[in-house]
Amino acid sequence: MRRAILFALAVVATGSARAETEQPPIGVQIVARTTAQIGAPMAGQLLEFPLADGDAFAAGQLLARFNCAQPEAAIARAKAEADKRADIFATQQSLKALNSYSKVELKTAQNDVAVAQAELALARTTVANCTIKAPFAGRVSNIAVRNFSFVQMGAPLLDILDESTLELELIVPSRWLAWLAPGAGFKVRITETNRDYDATLTRFSGRVDPASQTIKIYGRIPATPPGLLPGMSGTAVFPSAPN
User: How many domains are contained in the chain?
Assistant: 3
- Answer with the one of 80, 106, 128 that is the final residue of a domain: 128
Question: Which residue range(s) make up the domain with 214?
Answer: 24-33+163-237
User: Looking at the structure, do residues 146 and 227 belong to the same domain, yes or no?
Assistant: no
Is residue 182 a contact partner of residue 63, using CB atoms and an 8 Å limit?
no
Dist CA 72 CA 74 (whole Å): 5
Dist CA 24 CA 43 (whole Å): 52
**Regions in the chain scoring below 50 on pLDDT:** 1-21
Q: How confident is the model at residue 235, as a pLDDT?
A: 96
> Amino acid identity of 183?
G
pTM: 0.73
pLDDT tens digits along 169-219: 999 999 999 999 999 999 999 999 999 999 999 999 999 999 999 999 999
Residue 17 belongs to some domain of the structure: no
Dist CA 96 CA 235 (whole Å): 81
Q: In sequence order, which residues have a C-beta less than 8 Å from that of residue 220 and are 6 or more positions away?
A: 166, 167, 168, 199, 200, 202
The CB-side HSE value for 55 (13 A sphere, CA atoms) comes to 14
Q: How confident is the model at residue 173, as a pLDDT?
A: 94
Q: How confident is the model at residue 92, as a pLDDT?
A: 87
Residue 199 belongs to some domain of the structure: yes
In this structure, the number of other CB atoms found within 10 A of the CB of residue 234 comes to 21
Residue 15 belongs to some domain of the structure: no
Residue 52 belongs to some domain of the structure: yes
Q: How confident is the model at residue 199, as a pLDDT?
A: 95
Q: In sequence order, which residues have a C-beta less than 8 Å from that of residue 94 and are 6 or more positions away?
A: none
- The CATH number of residue 90's host domain is 1.10.287
Q: How confident is the model at residue 19, as a pLDDT?
A: 39
